[in-house]
Structure 1
Amino acid sequence: MSAYFERLGATAFRPTSAVEGAWSTQEQHIAPALGLIAHAIEQDHLDRRGGELQLGRISYDILGTMPIERVDIEVRLRRAGRTIELVEAVLSHDGRAAVIARAWLLQAVDTRELAGSALAAMPRRDELDLWEMGDHWQGEAVRSVEFHRRQREAGHAWAWLRPRIPLLLDEPIGPVSRLLGLVDFANGLTLRLEPREVAFPNVDLTCHLLGAPQGEWIGFDTTVSIGPTGLGLTDTVLHDERGPVGTVQQILTVRPVRP
């Protein structure tokens, strides 16, 4: 596994076996694709404006599964502005939209004297144990990431994650896109029930950021909740070694597995 994707052209990408899904090894794990979409958005902004604005929020709607085959990404400017932009990106397979993302890009201002958060701190990586996500999930994608984790209780865990391979072969990736290529792993970090007993895929993912993360490792303070009517929610506070850097929410469709 050298990378998750290889570039075929300006808007076309070929996935490698490293994107093998956790629910089905015939389908792509959505995590790397979400990072690839963010990279396309950031590259579009860099080409148009030199990277003047920063990504503050991105919301993905996941329209369906994808085989491990070529994908294309189209980026459109939906709301132009000097200090604020709204951008939409559509990732498609064989002409069918699979993921639609909308991102707010906001002006960068020096607010270091105002910076602070009441979000709770999490343990350092060296305080957590090595953990193999592949002990619970199938596919190559979950084996492409290094995990340190502590399960606090069923449905709540702390974890530090670092990808073992780059998102895109022979192409630099910014820290925000790199983070966004990891965030969908949150939904498998802390299990209330084993995947063989219940399916709980997410149909969306929304990430709000306080700034670009620093360092290789991203911390996840993740909780999973399941309601009484087939709905679930995975909620995560993201950290780097300085402290909180953002949040992630994923809505789940919860379906007991019938033998």
Structure 2
Amino acid sequence: MTAPDRTPTSAYFGRDDAGRFRPSSAVQGAWNTNEQHVAPALGLLAHLLETDHRSRHAEPLALARVSFDILGTLDIDTVDASTRVIRPGRTIELTEATLGQNSRAAVIARAWFLGASDTTAITGSALPPMPPREDLQAWEASAVWPGEFVTTVDVRRREAQAGRAWFWMRPRLPLLPDEPVSATARLLGLVDIANGISPRVDPSLLAFPNVDLTAHLFRAPDTEWVGFDTTVAYGPHGIGLTQTVLHDEHGPIGTVQQTLTLRA
């Protein structure tokens, strides 16, 4: 097993070659500190999808939806990644990326890229606004969750009740140290944390990992901080849902849903 990079100021991943990436200790998970938190891995997959797409398009399309199916856990060790085009097109394209270890897929992502057009005249949303970041209090996720990843994220939060909260977040580390990463991929390397910011039940009493994450984006984030308007629901038969409206400091940008498996 490759030892993770222990440099405190490192990125979440380093690139070994086109399809192999080495995690730093900053990806250390919360459910199990011997495993990766899946959030940075999702950001890495989003970056690879965008990079592959741009390599084939002189005028790249916009990433409008990405769905991640989480098939298993990742050790804090080198990961292998691959991409493929499912539905090529000049104005609509569907692509897929897979991340895994030891010939075992752990996460599969599928992304729709859509062509741009000028809809400035009808831009708008009925989604409610977020409380301003300066009105929310700084919050340490490490007070609830173990693992190094949660210590690498700045959080400002207001909780209405267990399972209902507003929070602004930004990662303090880059996804990769030596290559540009889009604001969208940077966001998608953060959003999985939404499930743990306002749990309905103390995580020491109930596990509620998500088996997927789907993000719909009607525009790319345009500010460093990202806002989360999050609601958590638990059903009577062991299934839950975390639903988030995403914002930047100009307003709403999309939504995220996570399906939960509830395990006492």
Give the TM-score taking structure 1 as reference length.
Answer: 0.98
Deviation, 1:169, is 1.4
- Supply the AA of the counterpart residue of 1:234: T
Among 11, 14, 18, which residue is 1:6 paired with?
Answer: 14
1:124 aligns with 2:132: yes
Residue 142 of structure 1 deviates from its aligned partner by 0.5
- Correspondence 1:98-247 to 2 at 5 A: 98-247=106-255
Maintained 8 Å contact 1:59/1:205: yes
Give the Å deviation of 1:81.
1.2
Distance, in Å, in 2 between the alignment partners of 1:243 and 1:134 is: 28
SS in structure 1 opposite 2:17?
A: coil
1:52 maps to 2:57: no
Aligned mates of 2:174, 2:40 — CA distance in 1: 10
Q: Which runs of 5+ in 1 are unaligned?
A: none
Residue deviations 1:175-196 (CA, integer Å, cap 9, x gap):
1000000100000010111110
Aligned pair count reads 256
- C-alpha separation between the residues in 2 aligned to 1:111 and 1:11? 37
User: What is the aligned partner in structure 1 of residue 30 from structure 2?
Assistant: 22
Distance 1:171 1:13 in 2: 13
> Hey, what's the Cα distance between the residues in 2 that align with 1:110 and 1:145?
35
User: Separation in 2 of the partners of 1:176 and 1:21?
Assistant: 22
Gaps of 5+ in 2: 1-7
Instruction: Name which of 58, 62, 65 aligns with 2:70.
Output: 62
The aligned amino acid for 2:181 is I
Report matched runs for 1:241-256 at 5 Å: 241-256=249-264
Counterpart in the other structure of 1:87: 95
CA pair 166-119 structure 1, distance change in 2 beyond 3 A? same
Task: Tell me the amino acid that sits aligned with residue 253 of structure 2.
Answer: V
Contact in 2 for aligned 1:204/1:251 (Cα 8 Å)? yes
Q: Distance in 2 between matches of 1:20 and 1:51?
A: 37
Cα shift at 1:51: 4.9
Are 1:77 and 2:85 matched, yes or no? Answer: yes
Query: Which ranges of 4 or more aligned residues in structure 1 deviate by more than 2 Å?
Result: none
Q: Provide the identity percentage.
A: 59
Residue 68 of structure 1 aligns to a residue in which SS?
coil
Letter in 2 for 1:120: P
1:200–1:255 contact (8 Å) kept in structure 2: yes
Q: CA deviation at 1:50?
A: 3.4
Cα distance in 1 for partners of 2:263, 2:219 equals 36
Seen in structure 2, the aligned counterparts of structure 1 residues 254 and 51 have a Cα distance that, compared at 3 Å, is: farther
Residues in 1 aligned to 2:117 and 2:20: alpha-carbon distance in whole angstroms: 34
What is the TM-score normalised by the length of structure 2? Answer: 0.96
Contact conserved, 1:52 with 1:108, CA < 8 A, in 2?
Answer: no
